[in-house]
Structures are given as structure tokens and as C-alpha cells.
Amino acid sequence: MRHQAHHLEVTTTELPAPRLEIREIDGGEFALVWPIFHAVVAAGDTYAYDPAMTFEEARDLWTRPPARCFAARRDEVVVGAYCLRPNQPGLGDHVANAGYMVAEDARGQGIASAMCAHSLEVARAAGFRAMQFNFVATTNEGAIRLWQRHGFAIVGRVPAAFRHRRRGPTDVLVMHRLL
Amino acid sequence: MRHQAHHLEVTTTELPAPRLEIREIDGGEFALVWPIFHAVVAAGDTYAYDPAMTFEEARDLWTRPPARCFAARRDEVVVGAYCLRPNQPGLGDHVANAGYMVAEDARGQGIASAMCAHSLEVARAAGFRAMQFNFVATTNEGAIRLWQRHGFAIVGRVPAAFRHRRRGPTDVLVMHRLL
């Protein structure tokens, strides 16, 4: 095998990472995330959250400990956010859970990917040993491929667990990776 | 097919159902369930709940709406209890979740089975379309067989998601059935 040339071509469908600043926020800053949160939940095509959820409910869900919220800014505009939390209490709290949202006009620009990479680093630094997504709609094909590129495997599939607002009963995937 | 004899033998490993009264309780009666709850959680071999969980935390978790709590009594003694709730909010709230606990000295007597059957009826009556268990430890072999007998299928397996107090990192099953 000596002298074998190593012309490994790395191809990816990922767009170049945008210049993003991602940092943790508290409930006092959640108003910056709310327009994105509200639009994503009202669309009813990815999250199970009640589309009529209020600002206060969303803020508490995403910023009240042990939940932690991170906002991604580009040119000082919040273009995405994610929430990191233990997926279970007590004897299951070594597994993290995260949910990501990107502003509609900022999609397809690598922001979810950058937030996912960030969340994996934060989770590892916080001592989590794995990360689990409980509720990935099978219709959300771009997200599934993205999580797979970030090392997640599909470990479960729950039939018709999501009432997709346009497509109706939709299967949901459980995805997981070690950290 | 006429005149075909129907000598269907029903065999089961299930013990005869005990004379149980199962009915809903509120937070004011949760003290009757607490000794069982506390012992199950302290054992750390089935639930992820923090083994140091307080009475108030347990009571709120199992009785505060939308959670509903049911206690099983035999000879006026509470021998088991279960909690029924939506497994997700909003667009996932058609899937129920339930957790069952049986007093240690009342195990192997069909009480979990009777509570499971009861919870399926209650869930159906409440309008749920399916039931999902998110966290069935693979070490809990009796429970897995019991849920399978009650129509549940294994739809996922999460590696090492449970820190079993005696056996260490333990896989967890996701189980599901339609109602």
C-alpha cells in the first residue's frame, strides 16, 4: 500500500458556514427569539408544541433551568435559536435533548448545522454523555439528513405520533448520538 | 368450515386477576401512593426519576393536570398506582403516556397487568389514539413481556440511556400501541 496517493475528495451539500455569533440567553432576552419560535410553532410542521402557545409558556419552556437557550446572531440579527436540556431527570440526565429553530428567511444557509455543532460542544462541556431527539417528523427530511451528518442515528420510529398541520398523521423518529 | 369445533385453549402465564378497585385520585390522596412511589424510585432500577425526589415533586408530577393518577386498592390497601398523561403537547397530544408502580410485596399478582388494561380503557375514553412508553429499561424483562401481551410493540431502543443503580448503563426501549 506504500506510495498510495491520498487524494481524498470531501464533498458535502453543506453551504459555507455563515458568520454567526451563538451565545446563551436568559428569559429576559427571549423576546428576540419569540418571532422565530412563534412562526415555527404556528406552522405546525415540525414541533408538537401547541400552535397557540403563548410567549410566557415558550419563554419558560426554553429558558427555565435546567433548560438553557442559545441564540444565533448574524449582523446582530437573531436568525436562529436552540434549547438544550436533560432528556430525562435523575438516572437519565446524562442524555441531553435539544431543539433548533431557524428564521424562515435564513434557512438553507447552514445555521441549523452551526447550532447543532455548537450544541454538541456545549452538551459535552456540561458533562452530558449523549444527545437524543425524541420527535423528528419523518416529513422533515432536510433535518434528518443534517442530524445524520452530525453523527445521529435513527434509533426509533413512532407511527403517526405527529399531527402535521398540512400532511396529517406523520411518523416521528427518535435520533441519538453519543458525545 | 361448518361443524368445525372451537375448542380454543387460552393459555397465559398471567395469574388470576386479583380483586382490585382502581380509581382516580387527586393530589390530596397522593400520600397513599407515596410509599410505593418512593420505594420504586429509590430502588433506581426502573424509573429515571431522581431517587432523592421529594413527596411534593412526585405528587405534582403524577397528579397535576394534564397528568392523572389512578390508585389500585385491594382490601382497602393501595397496592399500586399509575399515571396517565399526554406524551407530547399540542400536535402530539393524541398519544398517551403512562407509568405504573406496584408495591414490592404485591408483585407477580397481576396488578400491573390490571392497571395497564385499566389505563388503556381510560386513555381510549379520554380520546387518545395511541399509548407510548418512552423509557422501559431492557433489564425490566417482566414488564417488557407484560406490555407486549397488552399489545405494545418495541419501536425504538436508546443505548445506555438509563443509569441502572446496580447494573450501570442500560439500554431503554420505546414501546407503542394504537388504541
Kindly indicate the confidence band of residue B16, based on its pLDDT and cuts at 50, 70 and 90.
Answer: low
Kindly determine whether residue A50 and residue B90, on different chains, have CB atoms separated by under 8 Å: yes
Res A86 pLDDT > 90: yes
Kindly determine whether residue A158 and residue B165, on different chains, have CB atoms separated by under 8 Å: no
**pLDDT score recorded for residue A9:** 42
> What distances in angstroms separate CA B53 from CA A22, A87, A146, B44, B65, one per listed residue?
34, 17, 37, 11, 19
Among chain A residues, the shortest Cα distance to B164 is held by A91
Res B2 pLDDT > 60: no
Res A50 pLDDT > 80: yes
**pLDDT score recorded for residue A14:** 52
Res B96 pLDDT > 80: yes
Closest CA to B97 of B146, B143, B133, B150: B133
For the beta carbon of residue A141, count every other beta carbon within 10 angstroms.
9
Which SS3 state, helix, strand or coil, does residue B45 take?
A: coil
pTM: 0.88
Res A12 pLDDT > 50: no
Q: What is the DSSP secondary-structure string of chain A?
A: -TT---------SPPPPP--EEEEE-GGGGGGTHHHHHHHHHHTSS--S-TT--HHHHHHHHHSTT-EEEEEEETTEEEEEEEEEESSSGGGTTEEEEEEEE-GGGTTSSHHHHHHHHHHHHHHHTT--EEEEEEEETT-HHHHHHHHHTT-EEEEEEEEEEEETTTEEEEEEEEEEE-
User: What pairs with residue B69 in β-bridges?
Assistant: B25, B83
- What ipTM does this complex have? 0.86
Pairing type for strands B95-102 and B130-137 reads parallel
Per-residue pLDDT reduced to its tens digit, A102-157: 999 999 999 999 999 999 999 999 999 999 999 999 999 999 999 999 999 999 99
Kindly indicate the confidence band of residue A15, based on its pLDDT and cuts at 50, 70 and 90.
Answer: low
Q: For B161, which of A95, A158, A163 is closest by C-beta distance?
A: A95
Instruction: Tell me the chain A residues in contact with residue B92 when contact means C-beta distances shorter than 8 Å.
Output: 48, 135, 161-163, 172
Rounded to the nearest 5 degrees, what angle is found at the Cα of A86, between the Cα atoms of A162 and A25?
95
Per-residue pLDDT reduced to its tens digit, B169-179: 999 999 999 99
Instruction: Tell me the chain A residues in contact with residue B47 when contact means C-beta distances shorter than 8 Å.
Output: 90-91
